[in-house]
Amino acid sequence: MTTQIAVLPGDGIGPEITEQAERVLNSLGLDLSLVHANVGGAAYDSHGHPLPPETLELAKSSAAVLFGAVGDWKYDNLVRELRPEQAILGLRKALGLFANLRPAILYPQLANASTLKPEIVSGLDILILRELTGDIYFGQPRGVRVLEDGPFAGQKQGFDTMHYAESEVRRIAHVAFQAAQKRNKKLCSVDKANVLETSQFWRDIMIDVASEYPDVTLSHMYVDNAAMQLVRAPKEFDVIVTGNLFGDILSDEAAMLTGSIGMLPSASLNASNQGLYEPSHGSAPDIAGQNKANPLAMILSAAMLLRYSLNHDAHATRVENAVRTVLEQGLRTADIYEEGTQLVGTSEMGDAVLKALN
């Protein structure tokens, strides 16, 4: 049976890196149908909306979504509902993609790319698990209101709401414990329980779920301390689980530990393993269309797609090994280039991965 994949290249470097990932998927001899649709600024230009109904329908009816990147400065002045980022938030919500896996791996060949000392980061392999459909990102009410009383009476006030329902915390907790079971069995839950009610509640549920996973060691850390420990001793972590807002911030920090955000894939999964797969980096409009972008995060996202949504573990490993091979061969796009290596463009990197696969 043919498996349908929605391909949403988006803006900036999205289309050119997506093309390379598609070449990889098409070379595996699987019965896949890759169907394209517009998203983000590109969809605003063509359809007047960053997430047109036909794009959403395609995503919903597909086994997985391969997502490039969205955003460009030229859309910065649009009202919030029409900005490119709304496409990704809308897809997360509509598909119920509550579990966001963001691995931060430092490839030995790229040990010098990090801004931290090699002994701090060499061999780094951590997984950030970010809750993706709740928290202050989606909490209601939100908006701007006029205050009627209190010290700021008569003034306008911007406000958002942070909350987590019990089932929302439980389901991400289970994903986190199970991910830890497959790794080094260490789970660190990050919150701000010394200040926030939502965080104390989150922590209590984490502790409760822990009793079902006696083989996993659960620890807790406040988010400010976690931000510090991530640069002080990142290898102390194995799996980190945290809410939507803290996860947004910590996953960027963790990505930068590796020095090469151009290498990091991500997966966002729902309860039935339907997923959206995208590189952790953005749309980089400054280098778009110049054959300079690193396609490896996108190709590694396709590998995650094979593993998590299509259950093709062996193919996923093949693709990941091909990426390691091209790094060993010394091929580098500009973002990871260093002296003594060979500078290549987006499509040449794609060629090399295809060659390594076969």
Work out which of 85, 125, 253, 351 binds ligand IPM, going by CB under 6 A.
Answer: 85
> Is position 45 an interface residue for Mg ion (rule: CB under 5 A)?
no
- Span near ligand IPM by CB under 6 A; candidates 85-93, 178-186, 191-199, 342-350: 85-93
Determine whether 156 is an active site residue: no
Nearest distance from C-beta of residue 249 to ligand IPM, angstroms: 9
- C-alpha–C-alpha distance, residues 262 and 293, integer Å: 8
Q: Is 137 a catalytic residue?
A: yes
The residue among 165, 127, 110, 180 whose CA lies nearest residue 323 is 110
Distance CA 257, CA 259 (A): 5
348 lies in the site for Mg ion, by CB under 5 A: no
Q: State whether residue 88 is helix, strand or coil.
A: helix
Answer yes or no: 248 catalytic: yes
User: What burial letters (b/e) apply to 270-305, b meaning 16+ CB within 10 Å?
Assistant: beeebbbbbbbbbbbbebbeeebbbbbbbbbbbbbb
3-state secondary structure of 186: strand
93 labelled catalytic: no
Does position 248 interact with ligand IPM (CB under 6 A)? The reply is: yes
**Pick 250 or 356: Cβ nearer ligand IPM:** 250
Residue 128: strand, helix, or coil: strand
Helix (H, G, I), strand (E, B) or coil at 277: strand
User: What part of residues 225-254 is at the interface with Mg ion (CB under 5 A)?
Assistant: 248
The pair of three-digit structure tokens given for residue 327, joined into one six-digit string: 């790094």
Q: Minimum distance from CB of 108 to ligand IPM (Å)?
A: 26
**Residue of 34, 82, 89, 94 interacting with ligand IPM (CB under 6 A):** 89
125 binds, among ligand IPM, Mg ion, none (CB under 5 to 8 A by kind): none
Active-site positions read: 137, 192, 224, 248, 252
Report the interface residues with ligand IPM, using CB under 6 A: 85, 88-89, 248
Residues that bind Mg ion (CB under 5 A): 248
